[in-house]
Amino acid sequence: MLRLEHITIKYNERVIFRDLSYQFQENKIYGLIGRNGAGKTTLLKTIARLKKEEHGDIFWGDVSIKNKDYFDLDATFISDDHSFFQDLTMYEQMLFLCKIKGLQKTKAQKKIEEIVDLFKLGDYIDYFPHALSRGTLQRFGIAFGYLRGSKLLLLDEPFITLDPIQVNTLEKLLISQKSPNRIIVVSSHDLDSLEAICDEYLIIKDKNVIRYLPNEIGRSTITQIIGDSYE
């Protein structure tokens, strides 16, 4: 369980979240919804410890992760802002990641093969990042996150730039990744995809979140809540 307790998040003097408390449970996919600039990325980064809150605390189980950093956590944050090594092919980068994870070479090669197949990236593994389209880079970014694996998967706008086939593949993949050991949080403006995968929606409003179950809220109400948050 991941628990946010009365957290306030700011950039300089600008408050993005005020006194936010929420409890995320394993085996669930949460959809983070909000207008542009509402704070979706900020909240994901805060959970991933890539940004620190001003007040409050965050607990993973019974342990505070307030003073932890991203690499202290068993977490993967996937955004569309991928940083790849420009001098390595995509295959070499995947091997490098496996090496950091301590995976033996033959096991690493097998795992990479599986993932490359899953994401249909076989044609591109010998490319350098600068030669790939945005959509393909996004797929590699997600494949890297998948390769890394984690108890906490945080995805920021994962469906952006993916074609409909890849959107469908990713939806299925995320559902298959649900487990009693894992919490998944996805931010997106793609309400169709969120509806297909989420157990709970968290809609950002008034510097806080409102929780809904997908079957208790329609699209027009979501749009209305987002619209109201502009006022």
Q: Give the footprint of ligand ATP on this chain (CB under 6 A).
A: 11, 16, 34, 36-42
CA distances from 100 to 74, 105, 141 (A): 14, 11, 17
Residue among 37 and 135 whose Cβ is closer to ligand ATP: 37
Q: How far is the CB of 39 from ligand ATP (least distance, A)?
A: 4
Minimum distance of ligand ATP from residue 31's CB (angstroms): 13
Enumerate the H helices of the chain as residue ranges.
40-47, 90-100, 105-118, 134-148, 164-177, 191-197, 219-228
Nearer to ligand ATP, 174 or 204 (CB): 204
* Cβ–Cβ under 8 Å, residues 140 and 90: yes
| N-term to C-term CA, the chain | 34
Going from the C-alpha of 97 to that of each of 136, 215, 219, the distances in angstroms are: 19, 39, 40
Query: Smallest distance, Å, CB 42 to ligand ATP?
Result: 3
If the CB atoms of residues 108 and 153 are measured against ligand ATP, the closer one turns out to be 153
Q: Report, in Å, the least distance between residue 160 CB and ligand ATP.
A: 9
Give the nearer residue to ligand ATP in terms of CB position, either 98 or 222: 222
Distance in Å, CB of 124 to ligand ATP, minimum: 26
Q: Do 198 and 190 meet the contact criterion of CB atoms below 8 Å apart?
A: no
Residue placing its CB nearer to ligand ATP in the complex, 38 or 170: 38
